[in-house]
Amino acid sequence: MNRRTFLCGLTLGTLAAPCAAEAQPPERGVRVGLVAPGSRDDDVQSFLAGMRDLGYIEGRNLVLEYRRAESKTERLPDLLAELVRLKVDVIVTGGTPAVLAAKRATTRIPIVIGAMGDPVASGVVASLARPGGNITGLSLALGEGFAGKYLELLREVVPKASRIAVLRPAAASTVQDMERAARSLDVRLQFVEVDQPGQLDRAFAAMTAQHAAALVVTPNPFNSTHSDRILSLAAKHRLPAIYGLRMFVDAGGLMAYGPSLSESWRRAATYVDKILKGAKPADLPVEQPTKFELVINLKTAKALGLTIPQSVLGRADHVIE
């Protein structure tokens, strides 16, 4: 080999090396802290599946420090402080209360959002395109016009529903969206604002008293945290309901339409991977939902005396029989 050939090979090898490195996880083991706001393990399993796809294997090159808040928001500061003391490389969490608690816990360790509502409105990031600070990840915030789809689906399943209740927190921002859709469908809305679990019984009693024929349960941390109670009350009052997250239908709700939580947590792994390879959270745009799913529970429909139209069943991604 002459000197010129050797130098070309050396140059090409040097240039190719970073590309090969970028395609592989860091050689050293990494430590990721994950705080699940509730008690379900589905989210962590989706996240780990995403990490495995990228070459990170628990026990080999990945240590996962997993903590569950068990739906007790008062536990979040201590759990996150523990991860900060452990000096994990990245913190992953989801839900507005948990992300805000993580933001308060550290400005140094990168934080990846597995899923939450609107991180801009919550003051978590400066903007979706340029988050700034040490936080980025996945948002479940829905675009304008999406809220009306709940009403459209409910009217297809319950054609005679002229009054529909909407269970939402006081600070939710879906009112105008739904009101526009309601006018086009000739539906009257009953907004029921609930921020404390003790208000749920009165909320459902108010829906019944005002003859609501169906219910929209908007996707937000409060409704997710108290899903069991909401499902129980919807069944007790025999209210056909549509939910924003599949977890409700898996637990016995009638139907759900919204972003895929499992896909969101799986996608969070790609953010962790980029950060571990040197990217700054401030420069990684927050991703909005791209995959939506319609899930229907035929057992619940039968219990409510409903027949799901074939036009709706044909659009369903999952049907529970």
Residues 93 and 110 in one domain: yes
| Domain interval for residue 224 | 147-259+293-320
Based on DSSP, count helices (H) and strands (E) in the chain, helices before strands.
Answer: 13, 12
Residue 195 lies in a domain: yes
- Looking at the domain assignment, is residue 23 inside a domain? no
CATH code of the domain in which 283 resides: 3.40.50.2300
Q: Which residues contact 229 (CB under 8 A, 6 or more apart)?
A: 197, 200
Encoded amino acid at 232, one letter:
S
With respect to residue 111, please indicate whether it lies within any of the assigned structural domains. Answer: yes
In a domain, 109, yes or no: yes
Q: Are residues 100 and 80 in the same domain?
A: yes
Q: Are residues 266 and 245 in the same domain?
A: no
8 A C-beta contact, residue 93 and residue 37? yes
Tell me if 21 is assigned to some domain: no
Q: Structurally, how many domains does the chain consist of? A: 2
Please list the pLDDT of the chain residue by residue as tens digits (321 residues). 443 333 333 333 333 334 444 455 555 689 999 999 877 788 899 999 999 999 999 999 999 999 999 878 899 999 999 999 999 999 999 988 899 999 999 999 999 999 888 899 889 999 999 999 999 999 987 766 677 889 999 999 999 999 999 998 765 556 777 888 899 899 999 999 888 889 999 999 999 999 999 999 987 777 877 889 999 999 999 999 999 888 899 999 999 998 888 899 999 999 999 999 999 999 999 998 877 899 999 999 999 999 999 999 999 999 999
Tell me: do 73 and 151 sit in the same domain: no
| Same domain, yes or no: 286 and 300 | no
Q: 240: which 2 tokens?
A: 């056909």
Whether residue 194 is found in the same domain as residue 280: no
CA 115 – CA 128 distance, rounded (Å):
14
Place of tokens 């995403």: 50
The answer on 220 and 89 residing in a single domain is no
Assigned domain for 114 exists: yes
